[in-house]
Structure 1
Amino acid sequence: MGPSAAGRRRAAELVFAQGGGRSALIRQIAPYPFHITRPFALDAERADLATLYLQSASGGIYRGDELSLRIDVRDGALAHVTSQAATVVHDTGARPASQHTVLRLGREAFTALTLDPLILFPGAELDTRTEIHLAEGACAIFAEGVAWHDYSGEGRPFGRLSSETLVFDGGDRTAVIDRATITGAELAGAASILGAGAGAFGSALLLGPTERLPEAAAIEDMLDRTGCLGGACAAPNDMGISVRMIAPNGGQIVRAVEGLFSLGVERMLGFEPARRRK
């Protein structure tokens, strides 16, 4: 049985700071259904890059859930937060669920938030909002994906997905606004607006000074190798690069996000990161 129709209102908070040659998790609030591992130093070349796996202790996102996550990465700290696996969004009925994420980066900080796809079940409705606040010299990678699945095999669509992503510069000026709403009916069958055979899509932002970002052509070459149809272009106000991806399934979106993380780290931090195993 899932949570009651009342839903859950839960807020998690993670704060990273630099100290002793490492990036330490100095504050954590992770109420149910959030669960986190301890931070790992997975890269021999940069032991100061902390990697943390964000997990769900429940069976996914349910009717009426209001979940929020705030990640603060203070001056000079380096943090990578990723999910352990895909997250199922169940039938929400008349009460859509919501997710609100805030990333706040200090000066010369680095943050990557790379999430495995949401899996939208029939009847699922979800509103997401992500805010990214960048101080001077900060670099960020934000990547997410969506797939859909009818466990009954009847081809029933999910309800609706609405997303909003906002990027703020060092003075908290709104520099990028990205909003979209799509229904499951628009993606159903051969008439899908994404094209026949599409079963997943994703988006990403690589943010920071231009000289510390990968080339758009390199990103598109990587997407081709993963089997994704994708494109990369400059984000508004010289904030970075915006990426869109379409794929037959969520697994290919996962591989594309891994590739974006690797390309981003190589340019932003100057080394090839180790694979994050899940």
Structure 2
Amino acid sequence: MSAVELPELVDYQDQPKQAPAGKSAKTGELRMRFVDKDDRTVLADLYRKTPLLVQQALYWDEQIPDMACVYIISISGGVLQGDRLSVDITLEAGAKAHITTQSATKVHQMDANYAVQDQRIVLGPDSYLEYLPGITIPHRNSRYVTRSDVVIDESATLLFSEVVMPGRKYHHDDEVFGYDVYSALLRARRPDGRRLFTEKILIEPARTPVRLIGVMGEYDVFGNVFVLTPPERAAAILARTPAGLRDGVYSGASRLPGDCGLVFKAIGAESRPVLERVREFWAVVRDEVLAAELGPRPLWM
């Protein structure tokens, strides 16, 4: 399905006056392929097109020194109206990678059109990927669609997270859930085409109130984390993941269809406690899958 066919975007087909949607500098592409080579994972292939940029793989994680660590950089300073972005990540057999962004993803205010980021993730046998972008901050009147397609081998593990703010909540009263559309789709399947699950989150605050009980209630920040991993690992992670309210954050995990892994969700009033709860879950995943600790938070994060 193209972005134009999405019903939530029907009202936003006008073109920006500054530059038409999807034109020069508004169609970012990033393709990365990771290979297990010489006792460590290397970034074997890299293609980048502005405004998306990756420089090189780093090896700063002392707990997993053979894991490639990559930062996705946006030279535009955020997501702009008319942006059409594409990220393609492939891990060959046995590869391990940690991918994040250089900062929060700021979806800037819009007066025309919308922005889309499409993501495709392919994980080969016994590979391991932590795809943990920075927090997403949709500004007032923004329209942002992210769609992720995952193809994962039964022996591989993917840890995939998104943490979303209600807007720039301390910038202006109208910023809190003042965006027009936030749409996030995740689909997963096996290499043979067998479907695992689909989840779509669609938030349109002006059309459907978010302060209802069972939606966001009095809370502002939500974290949505998937771990796709073999059943025995998923069961061990679930057994170590308590559910309920702690330190102002509600959180809990559930099994995904087809016994393919877990989904972990957390909501809170502020970003820091939600991020800490996600980090706790991340630590359990690392321990159960790689028998490795999650080291101290880097000073730059």
TM-score, normalization by structure 1: 0.90
For residue 240 of structure 2, what is the aligned residue in structure 1?
218
Give how far 1:188 is off: 6.2
- Aligned residue for 2:253, secondary structure, equals strand
For residue 241 of structure 1, what is the aligned residue in structure 2?
262
Q: How far does the alpha carbon of each residue in 1:173-201 deviate from its partner, in whole angstroms, 9 at most, with x for none?
A: 111110121113345668894111x1211
Give yes or no for the alignment of 1:176 onto 2:197: yes
Gaps of 5+ in 1: none
Letter matched to residue 173 of structure 2 = E
For residue 4 of structure 1, what is the aligned residue in structure 2?
18
Partner of residue 71 from structure 1, selected from 81, 89, 95: 89
Stretch moving more, 65-74 or 225-234: 225-234
More strand by share: 1
Partner of residue 289 from structure 2, selected from 242, 257, 268: 268
For residue 209 of structure 1, what is the aligned residue in structure 2?
230
Q: Note if contact 1:112-1:141 (Cα within 8 Å) is conserved in structure 2.
A: yes
Letter matched to residue 65 of structure 1 = D
Q: 1:188 to 1:138 in 2, by over 3 A?
A: closer
Q: Note if contact 2:30-2:53 (Cα within 8 Å) is conserved in structure 1.
A: no
Distance 1:228 1:188 in 2: 17
Q: Note if contact 2:68-2:97 (Cα within 8 Å) is conserved in structure 1.
A: yes
Partner of residue 34 from structure 2, selected from 16, 30, 35: 16
Give how far 1:167 is off: 0.8
Q: 1:137 to 1:66 in 2, by over 3 A?
A: same
Give how far 1:56 is off: 1.7
Q: Note if contact 2:210-2:217 (Cα within 8 Å) is conserved in structure 1.
A: no
Distance 2:100 2:171 in 1: 30
Partner of residue 40 from structure 1, selected from 52, 58, 62: 58
Give how far 1:227 is off: 4.0
Q: How far does the alpha carbon of each residue in 1:247-272 deviate from its partner, in whole angstroms, 9 at most, with x for none?
A: 11223332233222221111111111
Q: Note if contact 1:226-1:256 (Cα within 8 Å) is conserved in structure 2.
A: no
For residue 145 of structure 2, what is the aligned residue in structure 1?
127
Q: Note if contact 1:187-1:194 (Cα within 8 Å) is conserved in structure 2.
A: no
Q: How far does the alpha carbon of each residue in 1:199-230 deviate from its partner, in whole angstroms, 9 at most, with x for none?
A: 21121111111222343252336x85564212
In the TM superposition, 1:40-59 aligns within 5 A as: 40-59=58-77
Letter matched to residue 51 of structure 2 = P
- Aligned residue for 2:242, secondary structure, equals helix
Please give the root-mean-square deviation of Cα atoms over the aligned residues, in Å: 2.4
Q: 1:21 to 1:112 in 2, by over 3 A?
A: same
Q: Note if contact 1:48-1:77 (Cα within 8 Å) is conserved in structure 2.
A: no
Letter matched to residue 173 of structure 1 = R
Give yes or no for the alignment of 1:110 onto 2:132: no
- Aligned residue for 1:219, secondary structure, equals coil
Distance 1:193 1:21 in 2: 46
How many residue pairs get aligned? The number is 275
Distance 1:172 1:226 in 2: 42
Q: Note if contact 1:209-1:240 (Cα within 8 Å) is conserved in structure 2.
A: yes
Q: Note if contact 1:42-1:274 (Cα within 8 Å) is conserved in structure 2.
A: no
Partner of residue 195 from structure 1, selected from 202, 213, 217: 217
Q: Note if contact 1:114-1:257 (Cα within 8 Å) is conserved in structure 2.
A: no
Q: Note if contact 1:64-1:92 (Cα within 8 Å) is conserved in structure 2.
A: no
For residue 252 of structure 2, what is the aligned residue in structure 1?
231
For residue 80 of structure 2, what is the aligned residue in structure 1?
62
